[in-house]
Structure 1
């Protein structure tokens, strides 16, 4: 049985329902998403494997998830660095960036130099709403992720991938397969083309919304915010 997925259209509709029917704020959803990502990173790359984490953030909500994840990773004992070339100007993004600066987490402009000095990368550039061409300055960044010698964890989608049809046929991202993918709320159709370690995160969907969107979500264990699954959606043991 194939893993049940959530289309881009339904993912957008579910987000709206979470904020209307579910009464969540965007701040809450971003906080829970970023927390999920940070737990997945801790699971696959514990601090003993290297504390330097480079977080590449895009200008939208996916980038905001990355900023939240970076804050949690700092509190876990990691040393995050932020690449955020197109910083969001609204109040939410500015507050998330300020929270990191208050922890003296560095923001850098040279992604490629930082890539040579890190132990793990969080790809929080583009999420489920991405479509079309990758625009500057991100083509070279995604090419860098393709060729990275350290593990990469992607948030909701490997950046440059189409949510419905997977990796691009050519250009930046055509050969990009991160070691880890964290699907937020529910897996998207692109997981059909994904071959690495796959986590589902976002422990906030109520039973009524789960039924409305016919979601087949795994059971979370204990206080975990993520669940690792195989290609059929079966939960993998933490042991």
Structure 2
């Protein structure tokens, strides 16, 4: 099934519409996104392959998705650790952080040590709204993700990639190719350059909204929140 891609501009417009006429709250959208991410982790890194999962979170919505995913992973029986160096003062993010602390999920400021002692990494640093320069402390983090042999699942976009034009030609993200990618709601144009395992998640759109934004809803099965879609089938 060939899936059309969703530009960064249309992805932002879709989020805005979902939170206005669509009657969704940002809490709901983040919970659904994080749930999809957690299921993608379960698919690529089942607990019997290693329960230690390092979730690297950025300061925005992508990081919030990571916080939600970490909570679900804990309840699945994983041992998540969260790297969240630029914690938002926004109430939503503070609540998500507190929920993890109440579960005794550890937070770390030492990314090199954390990545050296984990079985899998979730890259929830930058999403579809990223543009411009990668700022501290994330350049070294992205370099570590690129150079590590630990498998990485990227959330919506490999961090530092341009949503429209894919991997950067220079900087810390040059050569960064995660093992897996979960596209939230719909693949973004950058998927044309991605070579790993690819999932689509976000099982909540109405047919009317999907048609308006040119989104092909993949064939979700049973209670699954994700569908694996080979990248060659999501490059329209």
Instruction: Give TM-score, length-normalised by structure 1.
Output: 0.96
Deviation beyond 2 Å, 4+ runs, structure 1: 231-234
Q: CA deviation at 1:171?
A: 1.2
Structure 2 equivalent of residue 169 of structure 1: 169
SS of structure 2 residue aligned to 1:20: coil
Counterpart CA distance in 1 for 2:115 and 2:32 is 27
Asked whether the equivalents of residues 197 and 231 of structure 2 are also in contact (C-alpha less than 8 Å), the reply is no
Structure 1: gaps of 5 or more residues: 235-239
Q: Could you say which residue in structure 2 is the equivalent of 1:237? A: none
- Structure 2 counterparts to residues 54-203 of structure 1, below 5 A: 54-203=54-203
CA root-mean-square deviation: 1.1
Q: Distance in 2 between matches of 1:200 and 1:88?
A: 27
Shift of 1:11: 0.3
Whole-angstrom distance in 2 between the partners of 1:41 and 1:226: 11
Indicate yes or no: 2:24 matched with 1:24. yes
| Deviating more after overlay: 62-71 vs 167-176 | 167-176
Structure number with the bigger relative contact order (C-alpha 8 A, sep ≥ 6) is 2
Displacement of 1:149 after TM fit? 1.2
Whether contact under 8 Å (2:3, 2:215) holds in the other structure is: no
SS for the counterpart of 1:174 is coil
Q: TM-score, normalised by structure 2?
A: 0.97
Indicate the larger mover: 15-24 or 132-141: 15-24
Distance 1:137 1:101, change over 3 A: same
